[in-house]
Structure 1
Amino acid sequence: MSSTTSTQEKMHHLDLDDTDSVESVNSEVMAFQGQPPALSGDHITESHSRHSFNLVHTLSKTLSHYKEEAEEDHQQLERLITNNAGVESVVELLEEGAGKLGPLENPYDIKKWESHAAPDTTYHPEDPWKYPTDSETGLRIVNWVDNDPENPKNKSKALKWSYTILLGFICFIVALGSAIVTGDLERPRAYFGVSEEVIILSSVTMFVLGFGIGPCVFAPLSEELGRQIVYVSTLFVAVVFVIPCALAKNIATLLVCRLIDGIAFSAPMTLIGGSLADIWEVEERGVAMALFSAAPFIGPVMGPIFGGLLADHSPTWRWTYWAFLIIAGSGYALFVVVMPETHSSTLMKRRAKKLRKLTGDPSYRAISELKIRSLKTIAQESFLRPFILLSELIIFLITLYMSVVYGLLYMFFFAYPVVYMEGKGWSASKTGVMFIPIGVGVITSSIIAPLINKDYNKRAQKYRDQGEVPPAELRLIPMMLFCWAVPLGLFPFAWSSYPHISWAGPCFSGFACGFGFTSLYNPANNYIVDSYQHYAASGLAAKTFVRSIWGACVPLFTIQMYHRLGYEWATTLMAFISLACCGIPFLFFFYGARIRTFSKYAYSPEMDSKAPDAENQKGN
């Protein structure tokens, strides 16, 4: 009762008219809760649009009052907004009613808020389009219109594919940077006079460790500032810090600069999936996502090949970094020239700002400009929630599985030199060639990825035709089929790695492993997204962080493990671990839906009608 009285006093203090009283706001809230907007394509039905605009109206008038009362004191304004329960409730409902998260979108986006444009109007950059003014809110909500020429999704196929290939190339470069140094570790070890463990720590571990740190910062930053500025600034830092690696006079320089490089290079790995979602419609994304999925595995596979050639034919170990600098610098220059901003909310804010300037009408507003997000909220969502979600059984076990797979990839970078260079006396460049079958397996998996996506859509459509939400467990079918590929590759690798046996056994075993690595990657991500729709980004961030930590640690003990256990049993141990992990997709396929009923974070169809309660729990 006291809470209600306090809210009424605050609303009365705003001098709103009767229609904007607490009772009116509450009636809007109840209507909104009882009948969530029915989305059809990109449009919100007219009946719920009225409720939605009433909420925007209340928010607009409230914000306007605060601005007039506290124009000279921005901190006081922010404090008033943050402490006002009425405004907070309206904003939460606005965000909820604006739509559900797409499979590759960040939860900081508010999407699908329509201004209901007249069907015969169009937008031209040089002829500002008059978005209609809503009679209740007085705002002109700026959004994409049909066939909007500035919408990245409406670009030509040729242009969209050029963007996609460029993004894939950047992803390849980043992944290459983590492994190219593995082809030549002995010369820098001798130069710095350090142990094998220290050179691995400074060259590989610190770089991969940065992959886990960066996403927590760059994902929310891109939602606030746009993708392009984050891409350009982080890639610039990453390219620049390759130079001191090549010029390093002591091991500390190499260690620090490789960590900075890893953090900076993690931004493209974090944002590229979202950029592809900006460019392609959902039904068109299959091939593009297959390219993106292959790049993080093709890059590391090519690393030992390039690094081995440089180790055998370059005058100094520094040429490994100079060569990578040339590749990364070329990719950066191409990116700056070709790649535009694609983030929808950022483009809408720019358009709204442009229209306000050209017309002198302050009512032009992008929906993202109406959001209120404190630094505390951003920090909680970016840094705390991923770790909270690790307590979820689904997130924990999928993360465990993907960490094992990721660790195996980096284990191979040191297992192959042990088997071929130590065991058979091969050169670094010749050993690097043995990684080719892994790359072929990755490419093969990427080729069939669109077919897997087509099969999923066919199965999911049966549920949609009945008005049901496709169960998240449909995403696990490819995992159940292909999870066996990894142990089937590791067991032959283990027992054909004797020095006196042909080189072909361990080499061609890599095909099954490469195929399994990529085939498991996408279904695992999709299962997390479908299981935790409202918290999907945090779930993926948790997976990425733990996976990167494990991937960074594996190189530190791989060589010792192979020396202590022997070539055969070291690989056999990892084969048994990967075999045990094969039970995870089967566990969730049969019991995943039941497990989600015990979670307050996992998504269920009933969650939509209980979303306000879920949001309240989220804040506790």
Structure 2
Amino acid sequence: MSLTHSESLSLSESDNGGTLTPCPNSPQGPDERIKESSFMDTWDTDGQNPYNWPLRKSAVNAILVCFLGFLSSLVSSIIVPALPNVMQEFGITIDEVGTLTTSLFVLGLGVGPFLFAPLSELYGRMFVYRLTMSAFTVLQIGCALSNSMATLIILRFFSGIFGSAPPSLGQATISDLFSPATRAPWSALYSLGPMLGPCLGPLIASLIVSAKSWRWVFWTSACVSAGGTALLFIVSVETYKPVIQRQVMKQELEKAYGKIGKRAWGFAIVGPDEKGQAAKGLYSKALSRPFRLLTTNPTCVVLGTFLAYVYGMLYLLLTSLPLLYRNGQGRLFSYNFSTISGLCYLGLAIGFIVASTMTAYGSTRLYNHLVKVNGEHRPEYRLLPMTAGMIILPIGLLMYGWSAHQHNFFMVPIIGNAFVAMGIFVTFQSIQVYLVDAFSPYSASAIAAATLLRCCAGCGLPLFGKQMFKALGYGWAATVLALATVPAIPIPLILYKYSRSLRERFPFHG
């Protein structure tokens, strides 16, 4: 046996199997006790370490998480083309009430991670994924069977809460599977989901609604979600290293002591005197972690606010596209597309895909180059591409707004949207990967804190987005948004220079 627990455990054999008792000198926390096991000494080269898994095994887990992150984000906006039919069936005439079906889903995406991110750091990623996606699937069935707008809005909110795990935990799972030097392509692939989903959702839904009832939008999402959930139970494995280490520790105890080792697992990890009070403190500390990051760590607050702005920009554009391409209201110009109006979202989708490809390779080369030049790994290297993103973003906004204002060929605003999408994606990706690197092993909680801010923006901004475009017109509304991004252009460089000192001045110990 490879355990070196003689200082913390003693085993007394007897005819009925013996007992395992903690030593008074044993450490007080589970992490410290696990570290006494000799398998920790070889963890970096152990086959249990996800960094040492075969690429095929890591890729299967990563691709499944990327798909589920995409699915949750897609469902956030999938109701948009069906909304007129839903409102007509339920007798709703106020636009803002219909908008709540999307806004509250997005709010749920921000609220859920505050619970599920800490749970993933206690029980592992797979436990949370399987639990939440099972509930998410059931809620999609509930949406399809809704008999009132109030019921649909409430179910959409809870769908957002339970669908929040893949979009918020995915980056942490990618960091579990791949080292900092190799994770950029996978991280870019994952980030594509939360960006691409809201764009493709209306396109897919418009095709469904043109042939079926609006309820089939939710029946379709329920079927796809059920398939993804089944794969979670069949092919996925745990990726969070502290949980894997505890599992290996338990297996070694069981192998060495048999059933008594299994019964004594609770004593080996948390002694009898500690069990109640320490467990209570462990839960409260873990569950408060995202809130503490959001209120005490300036770097997390600044980057979370930055992320909220660019994510809110995406949802503002999503509210203006139906006005421009399907049914302009008031004095607003419209191209008056009908069944193909969903194609207007392709500009954003193409922009996200192009930016994902560029950052997957460009960020890796830049990061490895800076590591080689400076001789150390630093999360701040992830922030430099944000400068390019913040320059591209206002250019795309101006191109979109003024080409629509001047009634140019319909493809010109779509091209402008592609540039907007590129700027948003590069910024989104840089912030997410920075948070993973800077706050590991609590990266899930750090992303949860940032997710709350961005989802609040995604929830609130669409509520007045239509009114802004109606009041100012496409050109001036886009100009206001573009001017708001200009002061943010130097922020990535400022953070690159001072973020390290902020991290050292305000360290986070979990």
TM tier, smaller: 0.7 to 0.9
Q: Summarize the Cα distance change of 1:341–1:497 in structure 2 as closer, same or farther, 3 Å threshold.
A: same
SS of aligned partner of 1:283: coil
Query: Which of 414, 417, 423 is residue 510 of structure 1 equivalent to?
Result: 417
Q: 1:399–1:547: 8 Å Cα contact kept in structure 2?
A: yes
* Match of residue 402 from structure 1: 307
Cα distance in structure 1, aligned partners of 2:475 and 2:381 = 37
* Match of residue 489 from structure 1: 396
Cα distance in structure 2, aligned partners of 1:550 and 1:272 = 21
SS of aligned partner of 1:187: helix
Q: 1:205–1:555: 8 Å Cα contact kept in structure 2?
A: yes
Q: Summarize the Cα distance change of 1:396–1:281 in structure 2 as closer, same or farther, 3 Å threshold.
A: closer
1:231 correspondence with 2:129? yes
1:439 correspondence with 2:335? no
* Match of residue 375 from structure 1: 280
| Bigger shift: residues 154-163 or 257-266 | 154-163
Query: Which of 65, 73, 82 is residue 184 of structure 1 equivalent to?
Result: 82
Cα distance in structure 2, aligned partners of 1:366 and 1:583 = 53
1:319 correspondence with 2:216? yes
Q: 2:78–2:201: 8 Å Cα contact kept in structure 1?
A: yes
* Match of residue 507 from structure 2: 601
Query: Which of 350, 354, 359 is residue 247 of structure 2 equivalent to?
Result: 350
1:416 correspondence with 2:321? yes
Cα distance in structure 1, aligned partners of 2:442 and 2:228 = 33
Q: Once the 2 structures are TM-superposed, how far is the Cα of residue 337 of structure 1 from its aligned partner?
A: 2.2
Cα distance in structure 2, aligned partners of 1:169 and 1:558 = 29
| Bigger shift: residues 575-584 or 254-263 | 575-584
1:196 correspondence with 2:95? yes
* Match of residue 231 from structure 2: 334
CA-to-partner distance for each residue in 1:103-152, whole Å, 9 max, x for gaps? xxxxxxx99x47446xxxxxxxxxxxxxxxxxxxxxxx79758453x554
| Superposition map of 1:66-77 within 5 A | none
- Aligned-residue RMSD, C-alpha: 3.4
Q: 1:494–1:569: 8 Å Cα contact kept in structure 2?
A: yes
Q: 1:227–1:343: 8 Å Cα contact kept in structure 2?
A: yes
CA-to-partner distance for each residue in 1:328-370, whole Å, 9 max, x for gaps? 2222223332222333333443344344334426679999963
1:207 correspondence with 2:105? yes
Cα distance in structure 1, aligned partners of 2:443 and 2:253 = 35
Gaps of 5+ in 2: 13-18
Q: 1:290–1:450: 8 Å Cα contact kept in structure 2?
A: no
SS of aligned partner of 1:284: coil
Q: 2:382–2:430: 8 Å Cα contact kept in structure 1?
A: yes
1:554 correspondence with 2:464? no
| Superposition map of 1:39-78 within 5 A | none
SS of aligned partner of 1:434: helix
Name the aligned partner's letter for residue 463 of structure 1.
N
Larger Rg: 1
SS of aligned partner of 2:409: coil
Q: Once the 2 structures are TM-superposed, how far is the Cα of residue 308 of structure 1 from its aligned partner?
A: 2.0
Q: Once the 2 structures are TM-superposed, how far is the Cα of residue 472 of structure 1 from its aligned partner?
A: 4.3
SS of aligned partner of 1:484: helix
Query: Which of 422, 446, 456 is residue 367 of structure 2 equivalent to?
Result: 456
Q: 1:308–1:428: 8 Å Cα contact kept in structure 2?
A: no
Q: Once the 2 structures are TM-superposed, how far is the Cα of residue 565 of structure 1 from its aligned partner?
A: 1.9
Q: Once the 2 structures are TM-superposed, how far is the Cα of residue 534 of structure 1 from its aligned partner?
A: 7.5
Cα distance in structure 1, aligned partners of 2:73 and 2:248 = 35
Name the aligned partner's letter for residue 272 of structure 1.
G
Q: Once the 2 structures are TM-superposed, how far is the Cα of residue 272 of structure 1 from its aligned partner?
A: 2.4
Name the aligned partner's letter for residue 327 of structure 1.
V
Q: 1:352–1:366: 8 Å Cα contact kept in structure 2?
A: no
Cα distance in structure 2, aligned partners of 1:211 and 1:218 = 11
* Match of residue 572 from structure 1: 479
Q: Once the 2 structures are TM-superposed, how far is the Cα of residue 517 of structure 1 from its aligned partner?
A: 1.5
* Match of residue 16 from structure 2: none
SS of aligned partner of 2:312: helix
Cα distance in structure 2, aligned partners of 1:538 and 1:323 = 31
CA-to-partner distance for each residue in 1:416-455, whole Å, 9 max, x for gaps? 0111111325345422212212112211122122331221
Name the aligned partner's letter for residue 431 of structure 1.
S
Q: Summarize the Cα distance change of 1:583–1:381 in structure 2 as closer, same or farther, 3 Å threshold.
A: farther
Q: 2:81–2:206: 8 Å Cα contact kept in structure 1?
A: yes
SS of aligned partner of 1:500: coil
SS of aligned partner of 1:254: helix
Q: 1:397–1:584: 8 Å Cα contact kept in structure 2?
A: no
Q: 2:71–2:225: 8 Å Cα contact kept in structure 1?
A: yes
Q: 2:119–2:286: 8 Å Cα contact kept in structure 1?
A: no
Q: Summarize the Cα distance change of 1:274–1:472 in structure 2 as closer, same or farther, 3 Å threshold.
A: closer
Name the aligned partner's letter for residue 346 of structure 2.
I
Aligned-pair identity in percent equals 27
Q: 2:168–2:447: 8 Å Cα contact kept in structure 1?
A: no
Name the aligned partner's letter for residue 407 of structure 1.
G
Cα distance in structure 2, aligned partners of 1:586 and 1:380 = 34
Cα distance in structure 2, aligned partners of 1:168 and 1:578 = 29
Q: Once the 2 structures are TM-superposed, how far is the Cα of residue 478 of structure 1 from its aligned partner?
A: 0.9
Q: Summarize the Cα distance change of 1:225–1:147 in structure 2 as closer, same or farther, 3 Å threshold.
A: closer
Q: 1:212–1:549: 8 Å Cα contact kept in structure 2?
A: yes
Q: Summarize the Cα distance change of 1:170–1:470 in structure 2 as closer, same or farther, 3 Å threshold.
A: closer
* Match of residue 386 from structure 1: 291
Cα distance in structure 2, aligned partners of 1:431 and 1:379 = 48
| Bigger shift: residues 585-594 or 175-184 | 585-594
* Match of residue 15 from structure 2: none
CA-to-partner distance for each residue in 1:370-395, whole Å, 9 max, x for gaps? 36753344334433653564454433
CA-to-partner distance for each residue in 1:273-327, whole Å, 9 max, x for gaps? 233333334433232212111111111111121122223x134221221222222
Cα distance in structure 2, aligned partners of 1:391 and 1:510 = 36
Q: Once the 2 structures are TM-superposed, how far is the Cα of residue 494 of structure 1 from its aligned partner?
A: 1.0
Between 1 and 2, higher relative CO (CA 8 Å, sep ≥ 6) is seen in: 2
TM norm structure 1: 0.70
Q: Summarize the Cα distance change of 1:529–1:145 in structure 2 as closer, same or farther, 3 Å threshold.
A: closer
